[in-house]
Amino acid sequence: MDVLGVDACGKQGWVGISLTDGTYAGSLVDARLATLIEGAAGAQVIAVDMLLGLVEKGWRAADLAAKTLLGARRSSVFLIAPRSAWQEREYAAAADRCQELTGNRLSQQAWALAPKLLAARACWLADERVHEVHPEVSFYALAGGVPLAYAKKTWRGQHLRRSLLAEAGIMVPDALGEADRIPADDVLDAAVAAWSAHRIALGIADRVPAVPELDAEGRVVEIRF
């Protein structure tokens, strides 16, 4: 059984880690998510670290529930503006629309996600294999329901994350080929996304929120882990 975990990685675009029967099977890098997914045609499940489902008003219940789970790591979860804010062309208009629909303005940091969010959302709407994950929520589950004590960009944080993956049977090699140029935290995020993808494929993955919301296109707005 083949699955793929994907993380956005700055200017490089997207990095993917593939698993076969739960063990490391390779890496992919591409500037476009759609092209990267095309390179994994045999994957049963594709888990992407990006906001995919959008609500019409208010904050997503998935993000609020994820913040509650993560405790000290809660700042890693962005509150994502409703769908119509992402249809605006400029930040000021998007921030105003977010204020109207949530009571708070959209942050510049969140707005910077717009190109990749919209690209990932298009893939999600076109391909039912694609699911939304959040790496810190996945690592929380991998650690037995405990938020990780160290941030992902720190030495101890990266060592802890790689160790947890290894304990789960995912031995990320030292040499990754094209993915060698990708920051270590993005590779680890893609690997734990793949761990969640494997759980989704097996039918044992968890999800937040407990009571699902629906996207305007009819798909469930949730974070799987």
* Structure confidence by residue, pLDDT tens digits, 209-224: 999 899 999 999 999 9
Pair 209, 224: CB distance under 8 Å: no
116 within a domain of the structure (yes/no): no
In whole angstroms, what is the distance from residue 3 CA to residue 41 CA?
10
Report pLDDT for 212. Answer: 86
Mean pLDDT for the stretch of residues 89-107: 95
Q: Which domain holds residue 39?
A: 2-51+126-207
**What percentage of the chain exceeds 70 in pLDDT?**
100
In the beta sheet, which residues pair with residue 30?
Answer: 14
Mean pLDDT for the stretch of residues 3-12: 96
21 within a domain of the structure (yes/no): yes
Residue of 187, 77, 57 lying closest to 134 (CA atoms): 77
Q: End-to-end alpha-carbon separation of the chain, Å?
A: 18
Confidence of residue 149 (pLDDT cuts 50, 70, 90): very high
User: How high is the mean pLDDT of the chain?
Assistant: 96
In whole angstroms, what is the distance from residue 121 CA to residue 116 CA?
8
**What percentage of the chain exceeds 90 in pLDDT?**
95
Helical ranges in 17-74 per DSSP H: 33-38, 61-70
72 within a domain of the structure (yes/no): no
Asked if pLDDT for residue 111 goes beyond 90, the answer is yes
Mean pLDDT for the stretch of residues 154-162: 97
In whole angstroms, what is the distance from residue 83 CA to residue 91 CA?
14
81 within a domain of the structure (yes/no): no
* Helix/strand/coil for 114: helix
Amino acid code (one letter) for 36 = L
169 within a domain of the structure (yes/no): yes
219 within a domain of the structure (yes/no): no
Q: Is the dihedral of CA 34, 39, 41, 46 positive or negative?
A: negative
148 within a domain of the structure (yes/no): yes
Cα 178 versus chain centre, distance: 21
Mean pLDDT for the stretch of residues 16-22: 98
Cα 43 versus chain centre, distance: 17
104 within a domain of the structure (yes/no): no
pLDDT, tens digit, 9 for 90 and up, residues 49-64: 999 999 999 999 999 9
pLDDT, tens digit, 9 for 90 and up, residues 187-197: 999 999 999 99
| Total domains, the chain | 1
